[in-house]
Amino acid sequence: MQPDLLLHSVSLHSQWLGEFLGTFILILLGNGVNASVTLRKTYAQNAGWMVVATGWAIAVLCGVLTAQAFGSPGAHLNPAITLSAAIIHNDFSNVASFWSAQLLGAMLGATLTWLFFYPHWIVTPDQGAKLGVFCTNAAIPHLPSNLLGEATGTFVLVLVAGAIGSRGVSATGPAPAVGPWLVACLVWGIGLSLGSTTGYAINPARDLGPRLMHFLLPISGKGSSNWRYAPVPIIGDLAGAAAAGLLLHFANL
């Protein structure tokens, strides 16, 4: 086989790769803004919640565009979105594949975040702050409220994302490339309005992948990875997504 034909035969355009790379970008930029605001001796230290929420919204935009470019037009980047899509369309064939891509992409994004900010971990003594760069925790630990908070945020994410693409909003759907901007604005709004109690994971891979890397990586002066809280952004997010998915399925928007 000629070299040029061999290159063309290697696929760098697939749904799995799109989900993997899109989630990688999402977590790199999202955990990156967390680190910039939290870690000592960065220029953005203590920049505040508005910067965090805005950074995560732009991270979603960049992740979605990357996923679409590399072959995943739906650009889920989120096991909860994948579950809701499976419920809406009654097709669960891609769930396991997408979940694996999303979790691995999140783990890679968290790893590069650690390397990028390498000297700043050493000068940051607060173990809880270091963990907060990677994953979420409740502002006030209260299991029913924490589960409700995550479920509500994810329910809003899925429901409004479904409304954005609905016939009631536009008979032909959003104009090309406008959809990702609207979803980014949606995530921004969720962060500002509903995110301050649990850190709004609204994405099991976004929390679990980086939490795993916090546990595995030799981060200077790290403490516990708080596995006691880890089920909350998994169970709550999937429950909220399932509820919204069922509503959208029967509403047939």
Is the model more confident about 15 or about 3?
Answer: 15
How many angstroms separate the CA atoms of 204 and 237, rounded? 7
Q: How far is CA 82 from the centre of its chain?
A: 12
Under the banding of pLDDT at 50, 70 and 90, the label for residue 1 is: very low
- Give the model confidence (pLDDT) of 66-111 as tens digits: 999 999 999 999 999 999 999 999 999 999 999 999 999 999 999 9
pTM of the model: 0.94
How many angstroms separate the CA atoms of 229 and 225, rounded? 9
CA distances (Å), origin 62, targets 67, 133, 146, 180: 9, 19, 28, 8
Residue with tokens 């708080």: 226
pLDDT of residue 94: 96
Percent of the chain past pLDDT 70, that is, above it, reads 96
